[in-house]
Structure 1
Amino acid sequence: MSVGLTGHAEWDRIKKRLRAELGEDVFTSWFARVDLEALGDGVVHLSVPTRFLKNWLQSRYRDRLMGLCQDEFGGVQQIEFTVRSAIRPRGPGAPEAWTSPAPQGVAVDHRQIKVPLAQAARLVLDGPAPTSEIRLDDALVGSPLDPRYTFASFVEGRSNSFALAAARRVAESRPGESVGFNPLFVHAAVGLGKTHLLQAIARAAKDAGRRVLYLTAEHFMYRFVSALKAQSAIAFKENLRGIDLLLIDDMQFLQGRQIQQEFCHTLNSLIDGSRQVVVAADRPPVELETLDERVRSRLGGGLLVEIAAPDFDLRRAIVSNRVVAARRLFPTLAVSEAVIDFVAENVTSSGRDLDGAVNRLAAHAQFSGEPVGIETAETALRDLLRVREARRVKIEDIQRAVCKQYNVSKADLLSSRRTRTVVRPRQIAMYLSKTLTPRSLPEIGRRFGNRDHTTVLHAVRKIEDMIKTDRGFADEVEVLKRQIDS
């Protein structure tokens, strides 16, 4: 049955929830032109203006839409998408050529495009249009920008500082201003921040009023192939060359001889016209074997910047930053400095894995209602923790680590001094010697200034009791233990 006024009111509430959850940019790109057509027999019928949008929603957002529709309508078992007619019937006296403005909120060339009526009838990219116009907006709709990916949220470290400086320079330049390098090519392994930087550039430049287009290579290929099928490739390329800043992500996925040739022509046209191009890939241009040699040469002629794997300091800063962000959603989230150190020390693959680690810890704290300790973190992050080779720990290694941690000298550790600043580190070192090495109590005593084995036993029991009663101290000792054992 057709949807009545009640159904439309409920659909409006669904769209409001999507806007709040996904942010204005993502909502405008993917959901603003989705309409509710019918509802009945447990099926929600939605219409969209393009086949690309239909495929995108089906692959990326079907489950979320299903959940929202079940909340609002109840009893929904299926969602079906249909593509609306490319154009509406022409009314009496309609002109043979219609005017199409650029889409609102999309950073593209805002010049008017004249499309012959015969050609407009074949445009598969068009959405529904008023009887007085035919829209070409889908041809240059960019990939959505994640609202989290800004310069403010990008954590700087030694491995990415150069890439960040170059990105800021591009974002802050004025239209037509030479930045000294064009194109900017950023390459790095998965999860190290390439997409974050490109979207931060796009957002900052767009906020400054520049005409910006951010696309993944996959999205670019789809747009160009669709334009070819619609016989609107010339208009597509002309509009693409009219922007101020083009950003292409995941360049390693650009396929097809003709597409690569057209991309190379577009690249040359933009660069020769002092328009900035930024490209990201998982390896440098010379290693992108599937790309045409001319494309690789052109990309390699600009500034190549590599983002290296994050060191411990950067990983720790990322984890701390993400914990602060998580606390905005879960105010009761308690993650100690020791746990932050543990995550930074052991999750070493990528920044994306660090994000995932914090999300898991936050979920555990929310669902269990328990504080996050080292043991909890180890269990929750088991598949992310780096694989270590077992090695033989020496008492000298333990003494060296304890001295560094508590800022005492080895001479003090082995001396007869009884001050608290020396006794506690000495007891911890004896405890770790007992738990991490196969040495006997008498032998450990000898290695700590010829002490009696009863002294070592007292130290071990003292530390064990403190670990049982003091969560912070337990985490402190656990982190120290893992540092020694790494």
Structure 2
Amino acid sequence: MKDKAAVVERQVMEVHGDTGLDSAWAAIRVGLRRDIGARMFDQWLKPVQLGSYCSESLTLDLLVASDFTANFVSGQFGDRLRMAWRSAGVGVREIRLRRATESTGPRVLEVVRNEVEAPAPVPTVSAANFLPRHDFDGFVTGDSNRLAFSAAQAMAGEATPRFSPLFIHGGTGQGKTHLLHAIAAAFCAHSPAAPVLYMSAERFMMEFVNAMRANETMAFKARLRAARLLLIDDIQFIAGKGSTQEEFLHTINDLIDSGARIVVTADRAPQMLESIDARILSRLAGGLVADIRPADLDLRLAILETKRAVAGDPPVPDAVIDFLARSIRSNVRELEGAFNKLVAYGQLTGRSIDLEFAQGMLADAVRASARRITVDEIQKACAAHYRIDAAEMRSKRRARAVARPRQVAMYLAKKMTPRSLPEIGRIFGGRDHSTVIHAVRTIEQLRESNPELDADIRALQRQLEG
């Protein structure tokens, strides 16, 4: 094995020696192993090999054993790898994770030269960079996500959508990122030459800051404005960054004016984003805003039935499916993860899956799920119960018809979420923590003397818990 590795290393050096890529990669590997830990490095990054390098686009291919590994490494370490190579000073601006084949393996590494001189192409996202299961066919719909799903299909279709941007909001693990992947894959299928950019808000900020430091802001802006489909995940993380917000505003204005498609996701509705520029808020809310609510019991059952249909042996009985659907309520990602854990353990050990086994294996997940109710869910539930607009939860109105439901929501937020009093106050329209304390004490006292209010709160608790 050592002799084989040495041969591969010599082959890489023979190809890349004059560019400095081999020595840069050796130094980068040392830094990565230190930063992410030996275990993660050895499992995922140690096997990575240098691939072809394009001197025109300044793009370097990094080769791994499978498409799955390429997707995982790109998602988990792509930004870190990209920044490391850019800092190495060897002319690499972009990287691509690819599956090694006979034609891309280390034995035939080469520096790719373009025959026709042209400016560096705008990096695009192709459908191959997205997990196959993250397509529209793999997205199970119900009342809680149907609007977002239909809007995503319209945004990805061949016909020009009637709205842009599309703003999708919902809690963690409810399917927002799945829809972004599906939109990009479907769009690339009918418009493979159209530039598509997909990035998190955190990556947007990082690249913008790095471009300013490197005096490359014009190139950064040109890259963004060339996109015909821009997808930004977790936009809430861009809030509070002044210069970055300003650039994001100009970007979306230019893209909208040019007819490009924009899709943005966040963990809450636009009007609830804290410290975000009002002009951005207006632009984001000016298209279509679609929420993904927590999956109800029927949708959770449908999701599990879909997974059971393709899981194979050992069979998962109806009692276990029902237990999972009723117990793992926090989000779809954890529901699927719990199902996968049971099936994987059964396949690895040869043990049959029954209710007792499932209850024992997933005890921790069930307890964790019961604790993860969000303030946003509480606000919506209370607004619906008392038949007021959800925006009243954050308004300054003090009319009794609004104030009492707001106090009930604050009380439930304190009792059912791990949020601190100041955090709850900010979510309820920027109120002081003392206002939350007053609301909690008021509702506690009223529950003892007002059976109707006590019944309301019990009903809301049951609803939120399942």
Shorter-chain TM-score: what band? Answer: 0.5 to 0.7
CA distance in 2, matches of 1:54, 1:228: 27
Native 8 Å contact 2:231 2:262 kept in 1: yes
Identify which of 66, 76, 89 aligns with 2:42: 66
Give 1:213's aligned residue: 197
Native 8 Å contact 1:365 1:371 kept in 2: yes
For residues 69 and 310 of structure 1, do their structure 2 counterparts lie closer, same or farther at Cα, with a shift above 3 Å needed?
A: closer
Give 1:348's aligned residue: 329
CA distance in 2, matches of 1:10, 1:373: 54
Bigger-Rg structure (1/2): 1
**What is the Cα deviation at residue 367 of structure 1?**
3.4
CA distance in 1, matches of 2:339, 2:216: 47
Q: Does 1:244 align with 2:228?
A: yes
Return the TM-score normalized by structure 1: 0.55
For residues 125 and 322 of structure 1, do their structure 2 counterparts lie closer, same or farther at Cα, with a shift above 3 Å needed?
A: same
Give 1:193's aligned residue: 175
For residues 260 and 68 of structure 1, do their structure 2 counterparts lie closer, same or farther at Cα, with a shift above 3 Å needed?
A: closer
CA distance in 1, matches of 2:270, 2:214: 32
What is the correspondence of 1:29-178 to structure 2 with a 5 Å cutoff? 37=22, 46=25, 63=39, 66-67=42-43, 100=57, 125=93, 145-174=130-159, 177=160
Partner SS for 1:155: coil
Q: Mean Cα displacement is larger for which, 2-11 or 364-373?
A: 2-11
Partner SS for 1:185: strand
CA distance in 2, matches of 1:180, 1:223: 31
Native 8 Å contact 1:125 1:230 kept in 2: no
Gaps of at least 5 residues in structure 1 are: 13-34, 39-44, 73-78, 89-98, 105-120, 390-485
CA distance in 2, matches of 1:326, 1:61: 33
Give 2:349's aligned residue: 368
For residues 198 and 355 of structure 1, do their structure 2 counterparts lie closer, same or farther at Cα, with a shift above 3 Å needed?
A: same
Aligned length: 315
CA distance in 2, matches of 1:67, 1:313: 39
For residues 353 and 193 of structure 1, do their structure 2 counterparts lie closer, same or farther at Cα, with a shift above 3 Å needed?
A: same
Give 1:8's aligned residue: 8
Counterpart code for 1:191: G
Partner SS for 2:271: helix
Native 8 Å contact 2:135 2:178 kept in 1: yes
For residues 368 and 276 of structure 1, do their structure 2 counterparts lie closer, same or farther at Cα, with a shift above 3 Å needed?
A: same
**What is the Cα deviation at residue 61 of structure 1?**
9.9
Native 8 Å contact 1:11 1:36 kept in 2: no
CA distance in 1, matches of 2:179, 2:186: 11
For residues 11 and 145 of structure 1, do their structure 2 counterparts lie closer, same or farther at Cα, with a shift above 3 Å needed?
A: farther
Give 1:107's aligned residue: none
Q: Deviations over 1:199-240 (max 9, x none)?
A: 100111012123211111111112222222222211221221
Q: Does 1:183 align with 2:165?
A: yes
Identify which of 225, 242, 252 aligns with 1:257: 242
Native 8 Å contact 1:124 1:226 kept in 2: no
Return the TM-score normalized by structure 2: 0.58
Partner SS for 1:383: helix
Native 8 Å contact 2:158 2:190 kept in 1: no
Partner SS for 1:384: helix
For residues 54 and 164 of structure 1, do their structure 2 counterparts lie closer, same or farther at Cα, with a shift above 3 Å needed?
A: farther
For residues 136 and 181 of structure 1, do their structure 2 counterparts lie closer, same or farther at Cα, with a shift above 3 Å needed?
A: same
Q: Deviations over 1:96-117 (max 9, x none)?
A: xxx649999xxxxxxxxxxxxx
Native 8 Å contact 2:329 2:370 kept in 1: no
Give 2:289's aligned residue: 304
For residues 122 and 294 of structure 1, do their structure 2 counterparts lie closer, same or farther at Cα, with a shift above 3 Å needed?
A: farther
Q: Does 1:284 align with 2:284?
A: no
Native 8 Å contact 1:126 1:134 kept in 2: no
CA distance in 1, matches of 2:162, 2:212: 35
CA distance in 1, matches of 2:281, 2:123: 26
CA distance in 2, matches of 1:241, 1:221: 16
Native 8 Å contact 2:198 2:231 kept in 1: yes
Q: Deviations over 1:324-343 (max 9, x none)?
A: 3433xxxx321112211111
Native 8 Å contact 2:59 2:93 kept in 1: no
CA distance in 2, matches of 1:240, 1:227: 12
Q: Deviations over 1:217-268 (max 9, x none)?
A: 1111122222222222112212211111111010011152111100000000
**What is the Cα deviation at residue 142 of structure 1?**
9.2
For residues 62 and 362 of structure 1, do their structure 2 counterparts lie closer, same or farther at Cα, with a shift above 3 Å needed?
A: farther
Identify which of 341, 353, 359 aligns with 1:378: 359
Give 1:235's aligned residue: 219
**What is the Cα deviation at residue 371 of structure 1?**
0.8
Q: Does 1:316 align with 2:301?
A: yes
**What is the Cα deviation at residue 316 of structure 1?**
0.8
**What is the Cα deviation at residue 47 of structure 1?**
5.1
Native 8 Å contact 2:142 2:299 kept in 1: yes
CA distance in 2, matches of 1:203, 1:68: 25
CA distance in 2, matches of 1:252, 1:11: 46
**What is the Cα deviation at residue 186 of structure 1?**
0.3
Partner SS for 1:335: coil
Give 2:319's aligned residue: 338
What is the correspondence of 1:352-431 to structure 2 with a 5 Å cutoff? 352-385=333-366
Q: Deviations over 1:415-441 (max 9, x none)?
A: xxxxxxxxxxxxxxxxxxxxxxxxxxx
Give 2:280's aligned residue: 295
For residues 273 and 87 of structure 1, do their structure 2 counterparts lie closer, same or farther at Cα, with a shift above 3 Å needed?
A: closer
Native 8 Å contact 2:125 2:184 kept in 1: no
Q: Which has the higher helix share?
A: 2
CA distance in 2, matches of 1:145, 1:368: 31
Name the Cα RMSD after superposition.
4.3
**What is the Cα deviation at residue 152 of structure 1?**
1.1
CA distance in 1, matches of 2:242, 2:186: 33
Counterpart code for 1:157: G
Give 2:424's aligned residue: none
